Each structure stands twice: as structure tokens, then as C-alpha cells.
Amino acid sequence: MNSMNILNKVKNVKSYTRLVRQGFLSQQRNHSVSVNEVDHFNELAKTWWDWDGGSRLLHLMNSTRLDFMTEVFRERNCFSGKKILDIGCGGGILSESMARLGASVTAVDASPMAIEVAKKHASLDPVLNGRLEYIHGSVEGSQLPTTFDVVTCMEVLEHVEQPRDFLFSLMEKVKPNGRLVLSTISRTLLARLLTITLAEHVLRIVPVGTHTFEKFIRADELSNFLKEQNWIINDIRGVCYNPLKQQWTLDKPGSSGLGLSCNYFLSAQKPMSA
């Protein structure tokens, strides 16, 4: 049942509120990879590096992702020498950027077409040789014998089938005192309006069917889940897109602006004793 059908069944504000409060921890499925989602992103892969294609918003968001990570790490040349695992890398927009900034990046995606596109694009830049490895698979199934300084998973949580188990798999790949950096969409009425109704159906800047409202995860749900595992939340901030300026804006540190009600970034640190 899609989000439109669910909303059609909502008879009053109270029933809608119950829907919004259904936590992602209650979702019970057998694996994280969705066949339908993989098929969808296989189609998107064809235009992944087209700035005017279906991934345009990801291209525009990329510098904001890097800004957030730079501010959170609080280190000069913060990517240099880091071992980074990028899960759900798609065509490699973020993966390439981190590798160019000096990181050693292992990038994984469940879409074979996305990985093929990513490899071809990376081969055009000799700077990336030896810095960037692409793997077709999932975080659960990929042969990744080591842990990493940083694990990134951007705009992926809202597409997986079992986010709780998926998060545990991500957390296992982070070394003690390492960082997990996530971005996703909050399950709010505002987020549904902006990311599905406007972005997909009105403005058509995102392919129809990209998002499913039920899979969105509120910022408090995600941060509380990580805290329950004794992880430290370094920062959590909203990020808003202005379609007139065609740019993303990151909330200031400590802000609880409207961004937390839609797209948001989160950085968490694994305890040393883990």
C-alpha cells in the first residue's frame, strides 16, 4: 500500500498522528535490500552523472554533505588518510569527492547498473586510481573484513526494507571511536508534502516513485536508537532545498529549524569500548 492510499484512509488528525508515530523499529522484514528499489535505481543509473537528470538534487546536495562532515570532524584536511565505507553509493557522487579529498574509499551499492556507471565514471579520473574501490552488493552480504574510520550512508535509509537490522550492519563496520554519518528524511506531513507531492508530482525534479512515506524515519527515532546502543550523537541538523535558488542550506549547529522535519544529516560516534 503506497503513502497516497494510506493518507486517503486517514479520517482525522488523530489517525494521521498515529501513522506518523509508528516507529521504524516496528518494521519486521527479512532483509534490507528491496528488489523494487534496486530496479528503480537501476533505471536512475542511466543518467546518474547528468546534472540535469533524475539525480540533480543529489549533485546539488553533495557540497552540503561535505560541509557537514568537515564541520563535524573538526579536523584540518579531515578526509586525508581516512578509511571510509560508503554504503548505497549509487553512481559515486559522494564517493569520488571523498577520494579526491584524500580518503581511501570503499563504495558499495545493491544496484549493478549504478556500480557499472560509477566504475566507468571513476576510470575517467586517474587521481582516483588506488583511492576508490566499488563493490556490487549490500552491507550485510559484501565481503568487508575490516572496519572503517568512517561509514557514510546518505539518502539510503528511506529505501531499505529493514532499517533496524540495516543500521546494526552499518554500526558493525565502524571501528571504535569511528563515525557513522547518515542522511535521510523525517516521517512528517511536511516531508511528505515537500519530497513526494512537490518534488515528485508537481515540480518533477525527482522521479515519481522515488520515495515511500512509510519508510521515512524521524530524527528523534534515529538518534534515540543510536543512543540506546551507547553511541554518541555528534551532530544532527536539517538541510533544506530552495527550488528558486536551486541550492541546499544546512541548518546552523544546535538549530531545530524546519529542516529536521524533512531532510536531515546525523553524525554518531562509536564508543571506544564497543
- What residues are designated binding site for Mg(2+)? 155, 158-159
Neighbours of 4 (CB within 10 A): 12
Amino acid type, 3 = S
Q: Which residues are annotated as a binding site?
A: 65, 88, 109, 154-155, 158-159
Q: What angle, 0 to 180 degrees and rounded to 10, lies between the N-to-C axes of helices 112-122 and 35-44?
A: 30
Q: What angle, 0 to 180 degrees and rounded to 10, lies between the N-to-C axes of helices 93-100 and 56-73?
A: 40
Neighbours of 190 (CB within 10 A): 11
Identify the burial level of 269 via C-beta atoms within 10 angstroms of its C-beta, where 0-12 means exposed, 13-18 middle and 19 or more buried: middle
CA pair distance 224, 229, nearest whole angstrom: 9
Q: Which residues are annotated as a binding site for S-adenosyl-L-methionine?
A: 65, 88, 109, 154
